[in-house]
Homo-oligomer: A and B are copies of this chain.
């Protein structure tokens, strides 16, 4: 793989990749030309493009601790608290430019989680995963490829563990161990950015019991490897991407990352790309680390996306003459309050981060969970306030086709007029941006990305140190 530097390099690399992507039941020849996928490619491409701008170099790039080279930060292993903070600053920055998910953090977090866990696995089990992984990491840093972190299995009946499902493949597993590698079968669901990534870094999806040995698999697989099939998920308002643009809201970058179901039909993985295989006791640790690293992000990217939505909402109010009303100002202030609250979470868990035995830095897991948990609430409330301020027109506005129609276009222009001097089309663009940023897929992503709310609630019980809290209370109450 040639080193990817520019956005154009990235797009060219995808064209050449030839992976097997399905969209609405049909094979996609070129993901970079497909209207349903192209916006997500554009968003991911910004992770390359912005890294080339001198003013963002400090945030968007880093010096590799392995090679000493300047690398894209999305391939970096955090070497300090400052790196952790720069990470979330980078996410908010790109969100300001794209207004959506740019997908590349999943692999970023996977790389960091596997780095620290393969190190610990070796220490405990005498294995050699860490060295293998470092070699892989160097490859990633040098080529600057986009890796998707593959964690979530389909899971079938969620009340049953992997090995008790009626179909054993509902969690990804090793079906054959060979001298040169392993063969895996199964799938990873909700894979953000998978159709425009180069490789997938597969990790187990939950803590495992000793009898779940075949499911304790962590490995890297090129997405064009034989046996890998990607099926693109349908988004809310998916079809608008195929139009000229106004109604899609965010015409260049789309909404949310573009998720796919990635299926492994007996895919071979050579040993040098296997970073865990059978050490079930490490699965839970790896999952928790990936989850922490990923939950850390949500106040960054969603904070930035919220900023765009707040700006759009303020414009909608301005365009229709309500921006001076006290209740509108109060609601916009509330939206900002909520956005800064989730951002505070991302900053705080980063600032309280610490060094792991591998040398990689790791955000405070309790606060990372707090961050994501607030996102599952506040993004909905921000959307609700955006709807409140933007008005009913958000749900009843004519099509772009009406605006362009020679028969009724003049009527749309006449009756959608706002404050004097406001361009009707600008008003419609902003309203469509709000509609698309605040409904359906966009909301669900905030709820379930990086783990459903209950997974965070469970962590409070484990990380909240309730016993110590009881001791303080007893002492203060005068109880021996």
List 4 additional A-B contacts (Cβ < 8 Å) besides A25-B399, A25-B405, A429-B478: A238-B239, A250-B477, A329-B461, A344-B367
Cβ of A464 under 8 Å from chain B: yes
A479: nearest chain-B partner, CB-CB: B426
Cβ of A65 under 8 Å from chain B: no
Which residues from B are CB-within-8-Å of A439?
Answer: 236, 439-441, 443
- Min CB distance, A48 to chain B, in Å? 19
Looking at A169, A377, A452, the one whose CB has the most chain B CB atoms below 10 A away is: A452
Contact assessment for B327 and A454 in the assembled complex, using a CB-CB cutoff below 8 Å: yes
Contact assessment for A234 and B399 in the assembled complex, using a CB-CB cutoff below 8 Å: yes
Cβ of A22 under 8 Å from chain B: yes
Contact assessment for B430 and A327 in the assembled complex, using a CB-CB cutoff below 8 Å: no
A419: nearest chain-B partner, CB-CB: B157
Per the bound structure, the CA–CA distance linking A330 and B246 in Å amounts to 36
What are 24 A-B pairs at a CB distance below 8 A?
A: A22-B405, A22-B408, A25-B401, A26-B401, A27-B407, A156-B417, A170-B417, A189-B392, A229-B411, A233-B398, A236-B237, A239-B240, A251-B478, A311-B474, A330-B330, A337-B460, A344-B371, A347-B367, A380-B383, A426-B477, A430-B474, A430-B479, A439-B441, A440-B440
Tell me which residues from 404 to 426 in chain A have a Cβ below 8 Å from any Cβ of chain B: 404-405, 407-409, 411-412, 414-420, 423, 426
Known: A25-B405, A229-B408, A472-B307. A448 touches B398 (CB 8 A): no
A312: nearest chain-B partner, CB-CB: B473
Contact assessment for A449 and B392 in the assembled complex, using a CB-CB cutoff below 8 Å: yes
Q: Please tell me which stretch of A11-19, A53-61, A313-321 contacts chain B, meaning at least 4 of its Cβ atoms lie within 8 angstroms of it.
A: A313-321
- Min CB distance, A186 to chain B, in Å? 8
Classify the interface of chain A: helix, strand, loop or mixed. Answer: helix
Cβ of A1 under 8 Å from chain B: no
Contact assessment for B387 and A367 in the assembled complex, using a CB-CB cutoff below 8 Å: no
Cβ of A348 under 8 Å from chain B: yes
Known: A22-B407, A380-B384, A398-B233. A415 touches B187 (CB 8 A): yes
A328: nearest chain-B partner, CB-CB: B454
Looking at A170, A325, A477, the one whose CB has the most chain B CB atoms below 10 A away is: A477
Known: A25-B407, A447-B384. A419 touches B156 (CB 8 A): yes
Contact assessment for B457 and A327 in the assembled complex, using a CB-CB cutoff below 8 Å: yes
Per the bound structure, the CA–CA distance linking A152 and B396 in Å amounts to 12
Cβ of A118 under 8 Å from chain B: no
Candidates B22, B402, B447; contact of A388 at CB < 8 Å:
B447
Known: A320-B157, A344-B344, A448-B391. A476 touches B250 (CB 8 A): yes
Cβ of A67 under 8 Å from chain B: no
- Min CB distance, A296 to chain B, in Å? 11
Per the bound structure, the CA–CA distance linking A59 and B247 in Å amounts to 41
Per the bound structure, the CA–CA distance linking A454 and B449 in Å amounts to 30
Per the bound structure, the CA–CA distance linking A407 and B27 in Å amounts to 9
Looking at A160, A252, A366, A388, the one whose CB has the most chain B CB atoms below 10 A away is: A388
Contact assessment for B474 and A231 in the assembled complex, using a CB-CB cutoff below 8 Å: no
Which residues from B are CB-within-8-Å of A261?
Answer: 396, 398, 411-412, 415
Contact assessment for B473 and A430 in the assembled complex, using a CB-CB cutoff below 8 Å: yes
Which residues from B are CB-within-8-Å of A235?
Answer: 395
Candidates B166, B348, B401; contact of A343 at CB < 8 Å:
B348
A240: nearest chain-B partner, CB-CB: B239
- Min CB distance, A373 to chain B, in Å? 6
Per the bound structure, the CA–CA distance linking A420 and B156 in Å amounts to 8
A-B pairs with the 8 shortest C-beta distances?
A311-B469, A25-B405, A439-B440, A392-B448, A25-B401, A311-B473, A351-B351, A395-B444
Contact assessment for B416 and A452 in the assembled complex, using a CB-CB cutoff below 8 Å: no
Cβ of A249 under 8 Å from chain B: yes
